[in-house]
Chain A
Amino acid sequence: MVTEETPQWPDRPPARLRLPAVSTRRARRSLIGAALVTYAWFAGTTTPFTRSALLIVLVPGAVVGMIAYGRPPQRIPPPESLDLTGSTYWLIAIAALFEWEASAFRDFTSTWHPPLSDLINPVLGVHPVKAVAVLAWLLAGWGLVRR
């Protein structure tokens, strides 16, 4: 039964007013998503060591930089502290990756001890794979801006 004492959630806007905001947000997200997929697909067509290959990285880099420092979005609050042991596992694994990669450069024998890029580059030569990788890289950039 509704009485005068029944709370009415005054700070909650009526449903009729909320619907357009939700649909606008959804439309904007869909538009941005479509633009990113199109960009990644185009970026997948570029040939390494060309100007266009450089631009497909520099343009998102400039955009992410401008967003990060000019108009930062609402950020996900970072943790106040991290478990030292848990973080150390990460540091060990990342250090192992760098060490394994660095030893490949030290040996400089691509056939015996190939660096990670030598193993990945042939895979990235396939257009859809490169497009997916670029899209993942773009999304990672957006994820970092929100951190």
Chain B
Amino acid sequence: MTTRVITIIGFAVVIIALAGLEILGRRKNSPIPALGELLGYAMRPRAGRFLILLGWLWLGWHFFSR
């Protein structure tokens, strides 16, 4: 197994874990928050709102502009 394959498996594991957390978070009475709740909580202060929106813009620039 090459290191490239290990890297890809690593990314897949993390992304599956993130998707799993979202699924768990959407269940009723789950202690795990859904991503929207987590972001909503982080966006309560004005600075948090600005930084999250900036992160969204950066993602778009990173994947679609370059």
Contacts and interface: CB of A to CB of B under 8 A. Distances in A.
Interface residues of A, number: 50
B33 A82 contact: yes
B21 A68 contact: no
A97 B30 CA distance: 23
Interface string A111-136: 11110110111001000001001100
B23 interface: no
A97 B18 contact: yes
B60 A87 contact: no
Q: For chain B, what secondary structure do more than half of its interface residues adopt (helix, strand, loop), or is it mixed? A: helix
Interface string B1-32: 01110011011001101100100010000111
A49 B60 CA distance: 13
12 contacts: A56-B64, A76-B36, A78-B40, A82-B41, A86-B31, A89-B21, A90-B21, A96-B14, A112-B7, A119-B11, A137-B56, A144-B43
Interface of B: 2-4, 7-8, 10-11, 14-15, 17-18, 21, 25, 30-33, 35-41, 43-44, 49, 52-53, 56-57, 59-66
Interface of A: 43, 46, 48-49, 53-54, 56-57, 60-61, 64-65, 68, 76-79, 82-83, 85-87, 89-90, 93-94, 96-97, 100, 104, 111-114, 116-117, 119-121, 124, 130, 133-134, 137, 140-141, 143-145, 147
